[in-house]
Amino acid sequence: MKNSIKNLALVASVAAIVFSARAESKKELKKLEKAAYASFVAQNYTEALSFFTKLDDLSKDKIRYDYMIGMCLLSTENKHTALPYFRSAMVHPSSSFVINYYIGRSYMLAGNYKEANNYLTSYKTQLIEYMAENDFKFSIPASAINDNNRIHMEKTLDDVSALINTCSEKISTFSAQSNQ
């Protein structure tokens, strides 16, 4: 009987230690996540990238941070490396149709205008549907648009239409050159 009580006490102690370590670990992850989002909002994308990368390494749900890693990369000189993160994030159940915009932009940066056109057109179609269903209109103040955050702002119908036109022109140019 004494051994059973000792064993039970030992199991309870180990469980308490494991639970405490997990709780502390969750606290640390929350602090790190808060710092990552704060850096992103402050437009310190390099710092945010390091936080999100660390979170991604520590997280069991690898896809969870792919979108934000892609956003940070797209906002730094590492723009060309964002595409795989967006494509990975696209399969996450909480993914929004907005990801099509960022995948399209990433393909544009890679010079793949045909794929860019496909994703941007998909985004535009879904945006029109969303705006109609939600009686939604964009209103981005001119003061909010600058070179540092323009990549995050160019999601209006006019901007997306301009990007789609650019893709179409590039596709036509490449087609004409390859036919000569």
**Distance (Å, whole) CA 93 – CA 173:** 38
**CATH T-level fold of 2-179:** 1.25.40
User: How far, in whole angstroms, is CA 70 from its chain's centroid?
Assistant: 5
Give the pLDDT confidence score for residue 83 in this predicted structure: 94
pTM of the model as a whole:
0.73
CB 18 within 8 A of CB 45: no
Stretch 137-165: mean pLDDT: 65
**Distance (Å, whole) CA 56 – CA 62:** 6
- Taking phi over 0 as left and psi of -120 to 50 as alpha, with beta for the rest, 43 belongs to left
Residues near 88 by beta carbon (within 8 Å), at least 6 away in sequence: 62, 63, 66
Stretch 32-40: mean pLDDT: 93
Residue 105 tokens read as: 């932009």
For residue range 44-93, list pLDDT tens digits in order. Answer: 999 999 999 999 988 777 668 999 999 999 988 888 899 999 999 988 87
